[in-house]
Amino acid sequence: MLLYSIANSKHQVDLKEAVLHSLPPDGSLYMPTNIPQLPSSFWSRFRGQSLQANAFEIAKAMLQGAIPDDALKNIVDKTVDFPVPLVQLDEQSYVLELFHGPSLAFKDFGARFLAGLMSYFTQETNEKLVILVATSGDTGGAVAAGFYNTPGVDVVILYPKGKVSDFQESQLTTWGGNIHAIALDGAFDDCQALVKKAFKDKELNESIRFSSANSINIGRLIPQMFYYFEALRQLPEVAFKGNEIIVCVPSGNFGNLTAGVFAKHMGLPIQRFIAANNDNDTFLEFLRSGRFLPKPSVPTYSNAMDVGNPSNFIRLYDYFGKHFDSGDPDCSTWNMMQSQIRGYSFTNQDTL
C-alpha cells in the first residue's frame, strides 16, 4: 500500500511509514494512492458473512499486502469483538449503535485497529514510540483503552481542561502504566495544534519518535469503514428496493465521514451523506459558500464534535478533486462535494 502527501503527491511512503509517523514532513496528511473497488465475488457472499470476515476482506483489499494475512486477521478479530447492532427507528430510518466497545465510543474501531498496526510495526523495529493524542472527549478514552499496556508504546493524551465530561476525564486519567493524560487551558483546537507542532519540530523528533492516534493518522480511517459495511449488511433487503441509502454522520474532525466516503468508493451503495454539525459549523459554511474558513471552536453539549478546524477536510477536498473535478466549472470540487454531502447544524437547544 502506497500513500502520498496531499501537499506533494510525489512524496510517497508505505503504510508502515504513514502509520508510525502520521504526518508527512510538509505537515499535510497522507492519502492512499489507490482505493480499490471490491470484486463481485465479495458482494456475492457479503450479507452471509460476519462483521469480522467482511472487515478482514476490506482491510486486506485496502492494505494490499502491507501486512501478512495471518497478522492482519488477528488485528481485525481483536478490533471488532463486540456487537454493532442496527436498530430500526421507523419505516425508513435506522441507527447503528457504535457504543458497545470498551470505551463506549465509535472510536474503539479506529483506536484498537491502529494499536494493532503500531504494535506489529514496532515489533519489527524494536523502537520506542510515543503516541500524541488530542481529544475533545471520545478519542482519548478509546485510544487509552486500545493502547493500554501495548509493548513499546507510550501514550500522551492532551485534553481541554474543564471541557470534557467527568466520565470522559476518568476514562483519560485513571489508567496509569503507559497512558499519560494532560489537561490544557484552551480548546480542542489548541490541543490539536500542539500535536501538529510537535510533529513539525525537527529537533524534538530527532530524540523522540512521535506518532498520532488522532484521525490525522490514516491507520484510524481504514477500520472506520468496517461499520458502514456492517450497517448495510444488516439492513433488510426490502429497504434497498426503490430507496436511496443516505447516511447521516455526526461530524467533528471528519475522519468518520472520510471513512464513509472511502467505503462508498469501494462499492458500498450509498447515495450520499449528511454531515451533522453542532454550532461548530465550519464545514456547513464551506458547503454554502465554497470557502473553507476555520474558526475557534465553540463549547457545546456535544463536546466530542467541538472542532472549528477539522483536520480531515483536506482529505475530503483532495479526494473529490482527484476523483471528480474535470475542470468544468459546473463540476468543480466544491460542486461535487455539495452533490455527495449535505450539511446541517444543530444548536445546543436542538441537541437537548
206 and 199 in contact (C-beta within 8 Å)?
Answer: no
d(CA 133, CA 156): 6
Q: What is the spatial distance between Cα 302 and Cα 306, in angstroms, rounded to a whole number? A: 7
Once rounded to an integer, what is the mean pLDDT over residues 273-278? 96
Of the residues 16, 107, 196, 264, only one is catalytic, namely: 107
197 contacts 173 by C-beta, under 8 angstroms:
no
Q: Across the strands, what pairs with 184?
A: 160
- The packing angle between helices 313-323 and 333-340, to 10°, is 110
Domains of the chain by start residue, with CATH: 1-352 (3.40.50.1100)
Residue 244, judged by CB atoms within 10 A of its CB (0-12, 13-18, 19+), counts as: exposed
199-238 pLDDT per residue, tens: 888 888 888 888 988 889 999 999 999 999 999 999 998 8
C-alpha 6/C-alpha 22 separation (Å) is 13
pLDDT reported for residue 329:
53
Q: What is the pLDDT of residues 145-192, one digit of tens each?
A: 989 988 889 999 999 999 888 999 999 999 999 999 999 999 888 998
Whether 107 is catalytic is yes
pLDDT tens string 26-81: 989 999 999 999 999 999 999 999 999 999 999 999 999 999 999 999 999 999 99
The yes-or-no verdict on residue 327 having pLDDT over 80 is: no
Give the percent of the chain with pLDDT over 90.
69
Given pLDDT bands bounded at 50, 70 and 90, which one contains residue 326? Answer: low
Residues 57 and 38 sit within 8 Å (Cβ to Cβ): yes
In angstroms, rounded to a whole number, what is the distance separating the alpha carbons of residues 339 and 103? 35
Kindly provide the residue ranges of all beta strands, DSSP E only, lying in the chain, ordered along the sequence. 2-5, 8-14, 30-32, 86-90, 93-96, 129-134, 153-160, 179-184, 210-212, 246-250, 272-277, 341-345
Maximum CA pair distance of the chain? 59
